């Protein structure tokens, strides 16, 4: 059994993916009450902790297999004004604190494409250097969700760190993209759109014969 601590769990999208990959959550931390309620309703067996990450103590979870989190992206997104480290929503410092406390076997952190902007180079290098100094082999890569079966344009930066004493740390590689296997929105949703007998579903599916744009909204102060 591979164990996982996840912060900034949101409504559970990343948590579902980790569960499908074989990880068992020992803690999911989420601040927004509405998201916590959704998580508890959909996955009552998950250990949901509805709290501010600043107040979360990682020491009781020392040595878990994976520490993961989609730390808030507005500090690095255009819509979020790209204030970076000066944005109160930036939780990278808390993520680093929790890595120090938990010392997991592996780390996975994701953020928006803007994190790779030249203006954040110094801060980005600081984050990666800090993880490396804590004893991890670190990689960073921009991944497109539509290259991996998701019918939406959603680029995300994924940081992976594997502890230096793990024998397989040098064999890790990001999965190969397969965009040709990703269905269009029309192909993916046509049967659901037709469930109530909507007669216009074929026309809609033809118009929706493409990958969807990024869905935006819902984040704090956005």
Task: Report, as residue numbers or ranges, the catalytic residues.
Answer: 73
- Using the CB atoms, write b or e for 19-33: b if 16+ within 10 Å: eeeebebbbbbbbbe
Token pair of 55, please?
């107040």
**What are the DSSP calls for 79-116, one per residue?**
TTTT-GGGSTT--HHHHHHHHHHH--SEEEEEEEGGGG
The residue among 161, 71, 147, 75 whose CA lies nearest residue 117 is 75
Decide: 210 and 185 in contact? Cβ < 8 Å.
yes
Token pair of 15, please?
């948590």
Q: Count H helices, E strands: the chain? A: 6, 7
DSSP state of 175: P
For residue 47, the SS3 value is coil
């Amino acid at each position: 059994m591979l164990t996982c601590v996840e912060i900034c769990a949101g409504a559970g999208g990343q948590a579902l993916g980790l569960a499908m990959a074989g990880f068992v959550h020992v803690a999911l931390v989420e601040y927004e009450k509405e998201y916590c309620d959704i998580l508890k309703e959909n996955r009552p067996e998950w250990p949901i902790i509805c709290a501010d990450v600043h107040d979360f103590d990682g020491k009781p979870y020392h040595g878990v297999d994976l520490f993961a989190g989609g730390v808030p992206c507005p500090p690095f997104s255009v819509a979020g004004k790209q204030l970076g480290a000066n944005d109160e929503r930036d939780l990278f410092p808390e993520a680093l604190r929790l890595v120090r406390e938990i010392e997991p076997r592996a780390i996975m952190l994701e953020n928006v494409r803007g994190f790779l902007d030249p203006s954040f180079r110094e801060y980005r290098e600081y984050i990666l250097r800090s993880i490396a100094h804590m004893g991890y082999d670190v990689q960073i890569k921009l991944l497109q969700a539509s290259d991996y079966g998701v019918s939406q344009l959603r680029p995300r930066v994924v940081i992976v760190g594997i502890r230096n004493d793990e024998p397989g740390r040098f064999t890790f590689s990001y999965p190969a993209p397969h965009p040709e296997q990703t269905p269009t929105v029309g192909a993916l949703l046509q049967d659901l759109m037709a469930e109530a007998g909507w007669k216009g579903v074929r026309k809609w599916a033809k118009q929706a014969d493409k990958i969807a744009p990024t869905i935006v909204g819902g984040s704090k102060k956005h």
